[in-house]
Structure 1
Amino acid sequence: MFKKRNLKLVLVMLLMVSLLMSACSSSAPASTESASASETTTESSTSTDTPKEMDKMTIQLKWLPQSQFMGYYMAASKGYYEDEGIDIEILPGGSDIIPEQQVYNGVADVGVTWVSSLLKYQSQGWELKEVAQVFQKSAMLLVSKAETGITSPEDLVGKKVGSWFGGNEYEIYALLEANGIDREKDLELVQQDFTMNQILNDEIDAASAMTYNEYGLLLESGLSDADLNVLDMNDEGVAMLEDCLFVTDEWIAENEDLFVRFLRASIKGWQDACADPEAAGQVVYDADQSVSLEHQVYMAKEIAKLVTPEGFDPAKIGYIDMDAIQQTADLAYKYGLLTEPAVLDDTTITSKYFEEATK
């Protein structure tokens, strides 16, 4: 009897051990699945935390770092390009750097140049396209000392008038002809240097000046607005548009989305710069001290008037006014910069990307 009871007890214990082993065996896959899910979650988290690779991009300026280009420097300073996934490089220009060549040869992706200059290269078969117009007005002036009595174009007759030439003379040619003045006979056009010493020393009667640069140099020399007379190309109806953005056909065909993101960030930068030119001048000065802080701020204030003139909606910065473009092209052809009328269609100019960036 005792042996049978012990045998039953042993059988019960063996059964319990068997059940326990079975339970452990069946729960193992669930544990493995749990671990696998945990690993997946960790991998997913790690993947999400990995920084997104930035798209590298370069913009070639027309001149040295100055507030003429403050929108791009402001956008970079405020991280707008980074927000759009762009690692931007701003390439300064200079007297020996031609933006059209830099972009055409692939040194830069986007360039800044004057519309008249771009039209010239396009007319020579370069596949370059204007994709945004930053300056809505011309900055070109003819400035003279008040004592010369030059208050109208007709007063230029018999005078020495300075020009930088090299593509900067066509608005002057247009101004003269529009007022019946023969540039070969009625006055003397003189090669002007990049200082304002010739007019300060009375070597010429009227000098070319950009509103945002050379005119400011005259004020900094001690002259006041009252000491100077100004002929403004916009007021005289012979303005030619200046700073625009352009690309090659090949690059934009492969980088439409990248350019739209670049333009969206740039517009934000220009909006901020025009709203607070003192801050913009400081940003440009911090980027490269090519001129004094005071002059950078002066330039910034004047540039804002060209990019967002009175009554212009800052939301439309970059807008291409085809009437103004046509006037620039007509003057460029009439006065010899172009040998034939400019082609203004989708092959040379487009608002497509501006519309995408501002919608």
Structure 2
Amino acid sequence: MVRRKVMIFCLLACLMLLFTGCTQEKKAAPEQSKEEGLKKITVMLDWFPNTNHTGLYVAKDKGYYEAEGLEVEIVQPGEGSTTDQLVATGKADFGISYQESVTQARSTGIPLVSLAAVIQHNTSAFASLKEANITSPQDFVGKRYGGWGSPVEEAVLKAVMEKAGVEADKVQNITLGATDFFNSIGRDADFEWIYYGWDGVEAQRRGMQLNLIMLKDLDPALDYYTPVIITNEQHISEQQELVKKFMAATAKGYQWSIENSSQAAEVLLNNAPELNAELVKASQAWVSAKYQEDAPRWGEQREEVWASYAQWMFERGLIEQNIKAQEAFTNQFLPQ
């Protein structure tokens, strides 16, 4: 998505402090709606509403949450806090995050857990204008990489360039932050890291020719889950019925979006009318086919995917302590 990454690693110290403070008192059960007898819960997005989130809005608008006895509020993170922080400290019940973020959090003792993979495979790519002639990591040499300033970016660039037999220090890293890919590519940077389901689809819609190098094609370990739906361990241990109901409705929302992509796009637009309608429709048509893809059911996660990427991060110093992959995720709340 258009710079949808918040700084995964920069606020971990703050997150740890928040979590430590909150462990002294348990979070109360979700608030009960007096008027409807529904349990009020909050779902925190990772960024602005986009087609990664459509299943949530479908589940809400179609009444799937209400049928499970839930009143769900879908909100965006504000400045100065991240979804991971709010979910870990119980200020949000569920959220949208990423495998790399959950791994980093758990390595520092913050008990986030992934409940479902929104999309089965990593759809991100290094993108550049066709005329730049960047078709492989060897072509990164002497070029400008524009990113959001995260250590994981440097690690990925270094790993894929060294694997390709070229020196990683031959690329110039430029921190662009939350910029618009279409304004910066070719001007401020020669190549950037995008998510095909949004920027890639938009480029195609605009008739812009790009060279794309998919991350999952560069190293099997980079085919990780991004994004994922998260909660905290306290919810899993003390409010299993709540988690089960939330995931039953959410899975139904994504399944409906898989089977009804054009109508799902309209649901998202009804909830986020500020979005470009043509982009949403094109993106939804592409993303709907990627939600489940080759998995036996939507949301399914595999331990080897978590273990492989955690090991990859550990070997490159992105986490100081490796994690137990089987504790970072669970499939137990997905409908059978």
TM-score by length of 2: 0.81
SS state at 1:251 partner: helix
Shift in Å at residue 96 of structure 1? 4.1
Q: Does structure 1 residue 252 correspond to structure 2 residue 212?
A: no
Cα distance in 1, alignment partners of residues 251 and 288 from structure 2: 13
Note if 1:198 corresponds to 2:179.
no
Match of residue 218 from structure 1:
203
Distance 1:126 1:312, change over 3 A: closer
Mapped pair 1:176 → 2:158? no
**Cα offset, 1:268, TM superposition:** 0.8
Residue 324 of structure 2 is aligned to residue 349 of structure 1: no
Q: Would the aligned equivalents of 2:118 and 2:229 in 1 still touch at CA under 8 Å?
A: yes
Contact kept, 8 Å, 1:198 with 1:204, in 2: the verdict is: yes
Per-residue deviation, residues 272-322 of structure 1 (Å, max 9, x unmatched): 11222222221111112242111222232333243222x444xx1111111
Three-state SS of the structure 2 residue aligned to 1:102 is helix
Tell me the TM-score normalized by structure 1. Answer: 0.76
Q: Which aligned pairs between 1:48-59 and structure 2 lie closer than 5 A?
A: 53-59=37-43
Q: Which ranges of structure 1 fall in alignment gaps of 5 or more residues? A: 1-50
Relative to 1, partners in 2 of residues 1:167 and 1:303: Cα closer, same or farther, differing over 3 Å?
Answer: farther
User: Kindly tell me: are residues 321 and 260 of structure 1, through their superposed partners in 2, closer, same or farther at Cα, counting changes over 3 Å?
Assistant: same
- SS of equivalent to 1:307: coil
1:16 aligned partner: none
In 1: Cα distance, 2:80 partner to 2:196 partner: 23
State the one-letter code of the partner of 1:272. Answer: W
Structure 2: distance between partners of 1:305 and 1:175: 28
Separation in 1 of the partners of 2:223 and 2:173?
19
Relative to structure 1, the CA distance from residue 269 to residue 209 in structure 2 (aligned partners, 3 Å threshold; closer, same or farther) is same
* 1:317 correspondence with 2:303: no
The aligned residue for residue 327 of structure 1 is 308
Match of 1:231 in 2: 213
> Is residue 2:72 matched to residue 1:99?
no
Count of aligned pairs between the two proteins: 297
How far apart are the structure 2 equivalents of 1:94 and 1:68? 19
Q: 1:306 aligns to what SS in structure 2? A: coil
Is the radius of gyration larger for structure 1 or structure 2?
1
Equivalent in the alignment of 1:30: none
CA RMSD of aligned residues (A): 2.2
Structure 1 range deviating more: 268-277 or 323-332: 323-332
Quote the Cα distance in structure 1 between the aligned partners of 2:319 and 2:235.
26
State the distance in 2 between where 1:173 and 1:95 align.
31
Structure 1 runs (4+) greater than 6 angstroms displaced? none
Q: Percent identity of the aligned residues?
A: 24
- What amino acid is aligned across from residue 210 of structure 1 in structure 2? Y
Secondary structure at 1:142 match in 2: strand
Select the residue among 274, 279, 292 that pairs with 2:263.
Answer: 279
Measured after TM superposition, the shift of residue 114 of structure 1 is 0.4
Alpha-carbon separation, structure 2, partners of 1:230 and 1:69: 24
In structure 2, what is the Cα distance between the partners aligned to 1:286 and 1:259? 26
In structure 1, the residue matched to 2:109 is 125
- Alpha-carbon distance between aligned partners in 2 of 1:108 and 1:74, rounded to the nearest angstrom: 20
**What residue in structure 2 maps to residue 338 of structure 1?**
319
Higher helix share: 1
